[in-house]
Amino acid sequence: MDAKQLHNQVHEYIQSKREEYIADLGALIEIESVGTASEGEYVFGKGSARAIDKMLDIGGGYGFKTENHDYYCASLIYGESQEEMGIVAHLDVVPAGEGWTYPPYKLTVENELLIGRGTEDDKGPAVAALYALRFFKDNGIKLPFSLRLILGGDEERGMNDLPYFLKTHKAPFFSFTPDSEFPVCTGEKGIGKLDVKLPAILENIEYMEGGTVTNAVAGKAFAVVKNISADSLKNADGISVEYVDGKAKITATGKTAHAALPEEGQNAIAMLASYLLDNVSLNDSERKSLEFLKITCAEYLGTQLNIQDSTELMGYLTCVGGLLKTVDGALVQNFNIRFPRSGSWQNIKENAAAVAANYGGVIVKDTHSDGYCFDPNQPEIQALTEACELVTGEDSKPYTMGGGTYARSFPNTVAFGSTIAKYRGLLGEGRGKAHDRDEYLSVAEFEKSVEIFVLSIAKIAEIKK
């Protein structure tokens, strides 16, 4: 069958199943599947386990083979072949948080939007994948491989679910994870974090702090300066000074931005360090600490830490000074680094350590996870891209990103769907996205996801024949 005909067929199919898929998604949204510590056999807690049980119940009811991998994750399988193609989604969610307009743990369908915690991330895409499997089964379409829908229970807290699966199963020859946006994401940068401990302060600076999280440019920073006469420090651009009990509290206000997209940010830690160096008398070690912060936090390419890098497919390394703390009288600066080349972390660490040492600093902690990178010309990637183009009618050039999905830890896997840019932001700023209040997936995104998944699988089936 040609792709256009198949598209029409699956389009009609999923519209005819609207009541059914809304009921299935509703049953999953009702389960508050926030991961917790293990409770008996429920390795990620009862919520995560209940969502897995419910999905196996639903999928088993439609006649798919079910496997529960001890509540780490579960599988629904269509087909008998040993060779498998995978779709990897997750059923755990992040906590609802405050400020919802709609009930987070009840599916609301309003103005063609499916609203509730997990609708977009990632229960909605998981159910869309289930309906792609149903389409093949209900229409008796045989494939040259089995389809394995893998449902994780711990994506949000640490991704400790899929490694358990890989202990006993071979990874499918190719998988996609609908936990991002369309079109295909062919690469994610590696993510690393470094804590640099700097020389002691406290003679003139009592305290200094900046940022609120490690994965964002610090939007605010402040310092408390001792031994200062009132009114000797003045406000400046982005800097305000208050005097309290013979001390000055200095606040710098820059602009925050996500660590994966730091271009729009302005780092308040660098602004503060620069102001203190110019206006406050400091001892030698205070001066060294601040000079290090001033140069490394003012930019986002890692040039000052001597870790700059870029590749043609993945773009450039970014390095953001996020969180600054005072610990036992010394400043500790955290850097969040998104790097394009897998296996390069050791180098990054060594180069950064050498620069820090020039200022008396040492790396006291580091963690990292490598990214992944696919050739956009690989046949499977082209199949996904063509399916996406046909269904959305839009140019669907693959993209790369600094973020992190299952694709970085599960073999042969790319992130693919399920959001589509033109259906985003319909509930206003700060609402509607994954992890936001009033999280939603539009009916259009859900149904187009099913269509794109089916067409992608059919195209890969053609390659494999």
The binding site for Zn ion (CB under 5 A) comprises 121-122, 179
- Min CB(323)–Zn ion separation in Å: 24
Q: Which is closer to Zn ion, CB of 152 or CB of 199?
A: 152
Under a CB-based contact definition with an 8 Å cutoff, are residues 393 and 157 in contact?
Answer: no
- Min CB(155)–Zn ion separation in Å: 5
DSSP string across 173-234: SEEEE-SEESSEEEEE-EEEEEEEEEEE--SSEEEEEE-SSTTB--SEEEEEE-S--TTSS-
- Min CB(266)–Zn ion separation in Å: 30
The DSSP call for residue 368 is E
Cβ neighbours for 35, distance < 8 A, ≥ 6 positions apart: 44, 45, 47, 48, 92, 153, 154, 156, 157
Q: Which is closer to Zn ion, CB of 122 or CB of 380?
A: 122
State the angle between helix axes of 3-16 and 443-464 in degrees (0 to 180), rounded to the nearest 10: 140
DSSP string across 246-274: TEEEEEEE-B--BTTSGGG-B-HHHHHHH
- Min CB(265)–Zn ion separation in Å: 24
- Min CB(201)–Zn ion separation in Å: 40
Q: Which is closer to Zn ion, CB of 149 or CB of 319?
A: 149
- Min CB(104)–Zn ion separation in Å: 16
Q: Which is closer to Zn ion, CB of 178 or CB of 398?
A: 178
- Min CB(154)–Zn ion separation in Å: 11
Q: Which residue, among 286, 270, 261, has the nearest Cα to 218 in the 3D structure?
A: 270
Secondary structure of residue 395 in the 3-state scheme: coil
Q: Which helix (H) or strand (E) holds 151?
A: strand 146-152
Q: Which is closer to Zn ion, CB of 24 or CB of 120?
A: 120
The dihedral through the CA atoms of 160, 164, 167, 169 has a sign that is negative
The DSSP call for residue 80 is S
Q: Which is closer to Zn ion, CB of 195 or CB of 439?
A: 439
- Min CB(421)–Zn ion separation in Å: 18
Cβ neighbours for 52, distance < 8 A, ≥ 6 positions apart: 68, 71, 73, 74, 91, 151, 153
Q: Which is closer to Zn ion, CB of 191 or CB of 383?
A: 191
Q: Which is closer to Zn ion, CB of 158 or CB of 393?
A: 158
Q: Which residue, among 180, 154, 240, 161, has the nearest Cα to 398 in the 3D structure?
A: 180
- Min CB(390)–Zn ion separation in Å: 26
Q: Which is closer to Zn ion, CB of 121 or CB of 154?
A: 121
Quote the CA–CA distance of 347 and 264 in Å, as a whole number.
Answer: 27
Cβ neighbours for 149, distance < 8 A, ≥ 6 positions apart: 59, 64, 75, 76, 77, 86, 87, 89, 126, 129, 130, 133
Q: How far is CA 321 from CA 41, 214, 297, 436, 459, in A?
A: 41, 8, 5, 24, 44
